[in-house]
Amino acid sequence: MRQVRAEETRNALLLAAARTFDRDGYEGTTLATVSDRAAVSKGALSFHFSSKSALADAVQYVACERSRAELKALDDPGAPALRALGARLTP
């Protein structure tokens, strides 16, 4: 249970950070804003990430991994790429 909650907290921080970096840029983002938007304490944030730079690196890593996974899922030689992408984006 404890590990699940820690993972949920980390994911909430990553999502809040990604949205805040997107909205305010790296320089305009503060760790206090990220922790507030994730609804977690600053202590929880510092437990998972030692600095704003480490948090930004983690956001970038997760985004790249998700992009790679999506691109790999599109790798179907029998299907036109745009059709495959459209099928993945349609709710």
CATH number of the domain at 75, please: 1.10.357.10
CA distances from 58 to 10, 36, 75 (A): 10, 18, 26
Instruction: State yes or no: pLDDT of 68 exceeds 90.
Output: no
Of 85 and 25, which is predicted with more confidence? 25
pLDDT at 89: 62
Number of independent structural domains in the chain: 1
- Taking alpha carbons only, the member of 67, 64, 49 closest to residue 17 is 49
Q: Is the pLDDT of residue 91 over 90?
A: no
* Domain around 32: 2-89
Distance separating alpha carbons of residues 16 and 71, to the nearest angstrom: 24
**pLDDT given for residue 72 in this prediction:** 78
Q: What is the mean pLDDT of residues 49-64?
A: 96
What confidence score (pLDDT) does residue 44 get?
A: 95
Q: What is residue 34's DSSP assignment?
A: H
Query: Shortest CA distance to 59 belongs to which of 6, 2, 21?
Result: 21
How far from 45 is each of 3, 31, 62, CA to CA, in Å? Answer: 15, 8, 17
